[in-house]
């Protein structure tokens, strides 16, 4: 191992206490994003990070998209290119019922090697590890061949209107990079042939389908005079439930199916049978692969009527549609119109909220991620398996700027994959995973920007 790299990894290990303190401080700031313009208050977390960076002599820039909606950037390196961007976001989802938590959700308390609190995993873990990566490289006096940039964005949990979406439109040069690392991957997979990790090369898209069903109103005492829109709604729901999407195994993930202990080659005709068997051993993996093989349509909201004794003349249904990278608006509209075919009085509006996109798994940068992870884990061999993030992240707004973006926040192999409570009760992040992510990012930054080429 390169002596400088060995020293950097040692520094990351020695800085564990400092890393945990920074992480706790971020968790204790309640940057709760309800979706409203005046929620989030990410500026408070930006100020904390600004202070830490300035103490280390690291330049920062905070951009406010709206009052209190802060987006922080920090950089080290004297050359603008190439640039490696370490992405994170500062906002967190609300806490529904604080009484169900073992500890106060913004306490940042450490118990049994875990930091408790809303956002401790999603995604203040990446904010603390990314910040510490810059700090350690600055302290080590590493001369970079380009620029290492850190981003702590606002509003990711509500779609990025005041965060990455705004930055991409108003300040694209601030977030454009050669490569970027973000949330969305890093799940370990133990196999007889060795350890593997999923790396997210992209994400599914999202569209919101709004169906309006028109009928005819009448008094509830004379229903035969009406054309009840609720019956049309019921028929539409039945059709959506019966819809069978096209099964697609073209994503690179399915080229690695043998790594999941399945010898049979997946094709559209046998995939569901193979996934049913896999689900007996690994339900989480089977569910993910199901999502990666098809478009999904999930009815999420319905409304009708203005009074209990009046038959509604109209009803509305909203459905969440998740798409694969090649499924565009025309494809989705065609599929939805097949569902509504023959139903009179149905109007469809389709709103594209996130376009599916992906970066190449064949990029040399992926090999550097693999190498950095080996070094961070001190393991001779690991394999990376390409995947897509089933939801969407801020990565979707950076790829169109020409940046290769990958979701990779690795966990130690022994991590309980259902333990973190992301968006739920008792969210936690293990200290050992904070350290691992810091070591991986330090190694990655050195390999791509600081160390010898090759």
Mean pLDDT of the chain: 96
Distance CA 410, CA 390 (A): 17
What pLDDT digit, counting tens, does each position of 335-365 carry?
A: 999 999 999 999 999 999 888 999 999 999 9
Q: Which residue has the tokens 């019966």?
A: 242
Mean pLDDT (whole number) for 87-110: 97
Contacts of 134 (CB under 8 A, 6+ apart): 53, 56, 58, 74, 75, 76, 86, 148, 150
Q: What average pLDDT score do residues 11-24 get?
A: 99
Mean pLDDT value across residues 61-81 = 96
- Report the alpha-carbon distance of residue 313 to residue 292 in Å, rounded: 39
CA distance 410 to 197: 8
Gap between the Cα atoms of 125 and 163, Å rounded: 18
- How confident is residue 20, by pLDDT bands cut at 50, 70 and 90? very high
pLDDT score recorded for residue 369: 99
Question: Which residue, among 294, 276, 298, 273, has the nearest Cα to 285 in the 3D structure?
Answer: 276
Q: What is the mean pLDDT of residues 391-413?
A: 96
| C-alpha span between 424 and 118 (Å, rounded) | 8
d(CA 280, CA 282): 6
Tell me which architecture the domain covering 202-354 has in CATH: 2-Layer Sandwich (3.30)
- Does 451 score more than 70 pLDDT? no
pLDDT of residue 371: 98
pLDDT digits (tens, 9 = 90+) for 147-167: 999 999 999 999 999 999 999
Closest by Cα among 149, 152, 134 to 19: 134
State CA 48 to chain mean position distance: 24
How many helices (H) and strands (E) would you count in the chain? 13, 19
- Residue 416 pLDDT greater than 90, yes or no: no
Cα 70 from Cα 61, distance rounded (Å): 10
pTM: 0.91
Task: Give 227-269 as a DSSP string.
Answer: B-HHHHHHHHHHHHHH--PPP---SGGGGGGGGGT--SPP-TT
Q: How far is CA 426 from CA 103, 106, 355, in A?
A: 7, 10, 32
Same fold, 3-191+378-450 and 202-354: no
CB 217 within 8 A of CB 312: yes
Please tell me the distance from the alpha carbon of residue 124 to that of residue 157, in angstroms, as a whole number: 12
Alpha carbon distance 205, 356 (integer Å): 4
Q: Cα(293)–Cα(93) distance, rounded to whole angstroms?
A: 28
- Of 137, 146, 152, 205, which is closest to residue 177 (Cα–Cα)? 146
* Angle value at C-alpha 81, between 79 and 85, nearest 5 degrees: 105
* pLDDT range class, residue 420, cuts 50, 70, 90: low
Looking at residues 369-373, what average pLDDT do you find? 98
Look at residue 219 in the predicted model and tell me its pLDDT: 96
**Contacts for 389 with CB less than 8 Å, ≥ 6 apart:** 184, 185, 200, 202, 203, 204, 395, 407
Task: State how far the Cα of 114 lies from the Cα of 82, in Å rounded to an integer.
Answer: 36
Is residue 454 predicted with pLDDT exceeding 50?
no
Please answer whether residues 424 and 121 qualify as being in contact, where contact means their C-beta atoms are separated by less than 8 angstroms. no
126 three-class SS: helix
CATH 3.40.630.10 fits 3-191+378-450, yes or no: yes
Domain residues of the chain, as ranges?
A: 3-191+378-450, 202-354
Of 12, 11, 67, 63, which Cα lies nearest the Cα of 38? 67
- Structure-block tokens of residue 436: 């691992």
Q: Is beta strand 296-304 parallel, antiparallel or unpaired with respect to 428-430?
A: unpaired
For 227-272, the pLDDT digits (tens) are 999 999 999 999 999 999 999 999 999 999 988 889 999 999 999 9
Judged against a pLDDT cut of 90, whether residue 333 lies above it is answered with yes
Residues contacting residue 120 through CB under 8 Å, at least 6 positions apart? 23, 27, 108, 114, 427, 428, 429
């Amino acid at each position: 191992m390169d002596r400088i790299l060995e020293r950097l990894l040692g520094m990351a290990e020695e800085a564990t206490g400092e890393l945990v303190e920074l992480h706790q401080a971020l968790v204790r700031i309640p940057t709760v994003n309800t979706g409203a313009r005046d929620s989030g208050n990410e500026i408070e977390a930006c100020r904390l990070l600004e202070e830490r960076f300035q103490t280390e002599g690291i330049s920062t820039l905070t951009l406010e998209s709206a009052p209190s909606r802060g987006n922080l950037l920090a950089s080290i390196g004297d050359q603008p290119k190439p640039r490696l961007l370490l992405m994170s976001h500062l906002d967190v989802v609300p806490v529904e019922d604080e009484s169900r938590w073992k500890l106060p959700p913004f306490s940042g308390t450490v118990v049994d090697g875990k930091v408790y609190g809303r956002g401790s995993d999603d995604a203040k873990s990446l904010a603390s590890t990314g910040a510490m990566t810059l700090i350690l490289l600055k302290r080590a006096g590493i001369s970079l061949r380009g620029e290492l940039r850190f981003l702590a964005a606002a509003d990711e949990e509500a779609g990025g209107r005041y965060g990455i979406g705004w930055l991409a439109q108003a300040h694209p040069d601030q977030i454009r990079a050669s490569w970027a690392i973000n949330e969305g991957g890093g799940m370990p997979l133990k196999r007889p042939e060795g350890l593997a990790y999923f790396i997210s090369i992209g994400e599914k898209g999202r569209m919101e389908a709004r169906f309006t069903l028109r009928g005819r109103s009448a008094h509830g005492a004379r229903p035969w005079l009406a054309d009840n829109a609720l019956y049309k709604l019921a028929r539409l729901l039945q059709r959506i439930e019966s819809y069978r999407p096209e099964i697609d195994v073209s994503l690179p993930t399915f080229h690695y199916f043998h790594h999941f202990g399945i010898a049979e080659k997946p094709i559209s005709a046998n995939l569901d049978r193979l996934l049913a068997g896999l689900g007996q051993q690994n339900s989480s993996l089977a569910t993910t692969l199901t999502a990666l093989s098809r478009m999904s349509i999930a009815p999420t909201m319905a409304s009708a009527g203005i009074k209990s004794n009046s038959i509604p003349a109209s009803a509305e249904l909203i459905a969440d549609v998740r798409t694969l990278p090649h499924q565009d608006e025309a494809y989705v509209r065609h599929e939805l119109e097949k569902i509504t075919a023959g139903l009179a009085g149905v109007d469809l509006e389709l709103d594209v909220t996130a376009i599916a996109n992906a970066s190449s798994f064949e990029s040399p940068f992926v090999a550097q991620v693999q190498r950095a992870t080996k070094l961070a884990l001190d393991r001779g061999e690991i394999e990376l398996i390409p995947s897509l993030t089933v939801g969407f992240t801020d990565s979707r707004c950076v790829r169109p700027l020409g940046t290769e973006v990958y979701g990779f926040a690795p966990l130690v192999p022994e991590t309980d994959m259902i333990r973190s409570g992301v968006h739920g009760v008792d969210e936690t992040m293990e200290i050992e995973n904070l350290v691992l992510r810091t070591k991986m990012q330090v190694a990655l930054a050195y390999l791509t920007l600081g160390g010898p080429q090759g």
